């Protein structure tokens, strides 16, 4: 088992005082970010990214990924205690979590949520540990056509499988790719789409756009809501923790099912949100006591939390192995990789062993430590919600501006961030999804480069994308996914059953 040896090496990299303390800081900041209204996983990571600019890549990724685990844990606190999902993927947790809190079983619900999140991500990390190195070494044989085919597959699956209206996904994706292309063309060194604007010569930075799209727009959206809240304070005693843990093995089927769903949806761009709902619905369908769901069944907390966490973690698998993020947050971590001077892709496993295995080891350790921290500090974090939003909002704005400026030391970027904030606000309200935009923005240049390199290699012959079995099947799969709604409808008509597209 080569992976085990490398994993041990990863732990070895991790066990220094500096990295361990950064890990704690990251987790605590992450839980804050998850609890606070108007902040969530992706924007929290984006805003706090500048803190890591002067660190070495390993410390940086450990801290950032811990912020992410923390945010995943934190989302559950507000869903259960206040019926306010801090994150979209915690919505399903409120269905049974909040009723449990109302019945005075808040501590039980919280323990259930944290423990099942922990199990979900553990399953996903195991998957990463044993699967990612294999995929990466397989992908080492990829040339530009194969890479372009994989990028193409990612984009097509968003359009074909996304729940949003197709033209809106297409708008979001092509806009992202276009904006990614602004500035100096990497192949011919020609300036394009800059209209003589010198600030645009180096292009629109991905992270600046993300901070605006997620950070600023979220503040605007939060202000629209009624910010009053009413909830329960909770303290978790060891007795409750052990009680829940003793009950847990009875629900092994639910946990296993949700982990599998989460892993699958995390790797494909389905995302944690879809995973949590699917986990919840399946648990309900297979349960003997369907009526009890929604009234405070502990299973209804286990299922969505396991799935959401598994999917959030599994989203890092394609990012590590192929350089293709499986979620918005993974896309931001990928943006971070580039800032720290690493080149994402399968070569990471060969060239930066310390980095990759340090990160994987930190997923294990971060989740264990995170579990202990949330279980012991819930009352503190629940009290954070007493802080008026009028005090939090300007602080978030300042942090966003600091983050946007620090990336390239450019005042122009702060204005750009503001512009993207408005775009994000409008897009979210009229239902244009932001995830394809983010993905397109971070992958745009590399997708174009691989396309042009394949064209140069093949002398402009498009058939290079079907030149061998591997690239041909990826490209064909991509086209099938792109036209999936049409195919599904056609199939439905052929077999006579009504289509459900």
Partner 1 sequence: MPEANNEIVVDDPQAPADDSPALAGDRKVEIVTSLLLLAFAALMAFDNWRIGMGWAPDGPRAGYFPFYLSVILGAASLYGLVACLVRRAREDKTFVTRDQFRRVLQVFVPTCLFCLATQWLGIYVASLLLVAGFMRFVGRIAWWKSLLTSCVFTLAMFITFDVAFDVIMPKGPLEALFGH
Q: Which is nearer to partner 1, 6 or 221 (CB)?
A: 221
Rounded CA-CA distance 420/165 in Å is: 22
Q: Which is nearer to partner 1, 17 or 195 (CB)?
A: 195
Rounded CA-CA distance 243/265 in Å is: 31
Given 126, 131, 282, 397, the residue binding partner 1 (CB under 8 A): 397
Q: Which stretch binds partner 1 (CB under 8 A): 6-14, 98-106, 242-250, 292-300?
A: 98-106
- In the region spanning residues 264 to 323, those forming contacts with partner 1, defined by CB under 8 A, are none
What binding mask, one character per residue, do residues 121-160 give for partner 1 by CB under 8 A, x or -? ----------------------------------------
Closest residue by Cα to residue 263 from 95, 420, 369, 129: 129
- In the region spanning residues 410 to 469, those forming contacts with partner 1, defined by CB under 8 A, are 411, 414-415, 418, 421-422, 425-427, 429-430, 432, 448, 451-452, 455-456, 460
Q: Which stretch binds partner 1 (CB under 8 A): 113-121, 166-174, 333-341, 365-373?
A: 166-174
Closest residue by Cα to residue 12 from 371, 353, 372: 353
Q: Which stretch binds partner 1 (CB under 8 A): 49-57, 63-71, 120-128, 252-260?
A: 49-57
Least distance in Å: CB of 136 to partner 1?
27
Given 226, 239, 246, 288, the residue binding partner 1 (CB under 8 A): 226
What binding mask, one character per residue, do residues 235-264 give for partner 1 by CB under 8 A, x or -? x-----------------------------
Can you read off the two tokens belonging to residue 25?
């800081």
Q: Which is nearer to partner 1, 6 or 418 (CB)?
A: 418
Given 227, 282, 480, 487, the residue binding partner 1 (CB under 8 A): 227
Alpha carbon separation from 201 to 198, 343, 437 (Å, rounded) = 5, 22, 21
Given 1, 2, 17, 190, the residue binding partner 1 (CB under 8 A): 190
Q: Which is nearer to partner 1, 13 or 464 (CB)?
A: 464
Least distance in Å: CB of 32 to partner 1?
13
Q: Does 479 bind partner 1 (CB under 8 A)?
A: no
Alpha carbon separation from 331 to 300, 319, 328 (Å, rounded) = 30, 8, 5
Given 3, 20, 126, 229, the residue binding partner 1 (CB under 8 A): 229
Rounded CA-CA distance 332/323 in Å is: 12
**What is the phi/psi pair of residue 104, to 5°?**
80, 15
Q: Does 365 bind partner 1 (CB under 8 A)?
A: no
78 close to 39: Cβ distance less than 8 angstroms: no
Least distance in Å: CB of 9 to partner 1?
28
Contacts of 36 (CB under 8 A, 6+ apart): 86, 384, 385, 392, 396
Least distance in Å: CB of 411 to partner 1?
6
Closest residue by Cα to residue 160 from 480, 438, 443: 480
What is the chain's alpha carbon radius of gyration, rounded to the nearest angstrom? 22
Give one DSSP letter per residue of 384-420, joined into a string: HTTS-HHHHHHHHHHHHHHHHHHHHT-HHHHHHHHHH
């Amino acid at each position: 088992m080569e992976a085990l040896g490398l994993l041990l090496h990863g732990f070895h990299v991790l066990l220094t005082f500096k990295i361990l303390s950064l890990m704690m800081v990251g987790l605590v900041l992450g839980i804050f970010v998850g609890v606070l209204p108007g902040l969530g996983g992706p924007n929290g990571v984006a805003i706090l990214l500048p803190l890591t600019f002067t660190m070495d890549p390993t410390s940086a990724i450990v801290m950032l990924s811990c912020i992410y685990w923390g945010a995943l844990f934190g989302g559950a606190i507000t869903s259960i205690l206040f019926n306010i999902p801090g994150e979209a993927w915690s919505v399903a947790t409120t269905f049974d979590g909040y009723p449990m809190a109302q019945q005075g079983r808040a501590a039980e619900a919280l323990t259930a949520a944290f423990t099942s999140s922990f199990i979900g991500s553990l399953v996903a990390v195991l998957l990463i540990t044993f699967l990612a190195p294999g995929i990466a070494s397989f992908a080492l044989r990829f040339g530009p056509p194969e890479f372009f085919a994989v990028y193409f597959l990612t984009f097509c699956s968003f359009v074909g499988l996304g729940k949003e209206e197709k033209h809106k996904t297409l708008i979001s994706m092509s806009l992202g790719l276009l904006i990614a292309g602004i500035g100096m063309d990497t192949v011919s060194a020609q300036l394009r789409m800059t209209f003589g604007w010198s600030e645009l010569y180096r292009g629109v930075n991905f992270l600046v756009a993300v901070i605006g799209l997620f950070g600023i727009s979220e503040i605007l959206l939060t202000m629209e809501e009624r910010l009053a809240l009413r909830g329960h304070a909770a303290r978790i005693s060891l007795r409750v923790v052990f009680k829940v843990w003793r009950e847990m093995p009875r629900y092994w089927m639910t946990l296993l099912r949700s982990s599998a769903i989460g892993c699958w949806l995390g790797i494909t761009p389905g995302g944690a949100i879809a995973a949590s709902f699917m986990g919840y619905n399946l648990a309900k369908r297979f349960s003997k006591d369907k009526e009890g769901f929604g009234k405070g069944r502990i299973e209804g907390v286990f299922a969505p939390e396991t799935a959401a966490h598994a999917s959030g973690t599994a989203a890092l698998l394609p990012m590590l192995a192929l350089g293709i993020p499986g979620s918005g947050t993974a896309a931001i971590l990928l943006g971070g990789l580039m800032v720290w001077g690493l080149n994402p892709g399968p070569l990471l496993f060969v060239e930066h062993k310390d980095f990759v295995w340090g990160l994987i080891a930190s997923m294990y350790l971060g989740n264990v430590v995170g579990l202990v921290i949330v279980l012991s500090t819930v009352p503190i974090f629940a009290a954070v919600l007493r802080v008026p939003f009028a005090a939090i909002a300007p602080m978030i704005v300042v942090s966003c501006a600091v983050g946007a400026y620090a990336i390239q030391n450019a005042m122009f970027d702060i204005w750009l961030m503001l512009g993207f904030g408005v775009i994000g606000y409008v897009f979210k309200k009229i239902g244009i999804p932001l995830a394809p935009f983010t993905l397109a923005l971070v992958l745009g240049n590399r997708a174009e480069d691989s396309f042009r390199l394949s064209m140069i290699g093949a002398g402009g012959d498009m058939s290079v994308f079907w030149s061998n079995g591997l690239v041909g099947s990826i490209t064909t799969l991509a086209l099938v996914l792109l036209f999936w709604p049409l195919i599904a409808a056609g199939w439905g008509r052929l077999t006579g059953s009504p289509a459900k597209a």
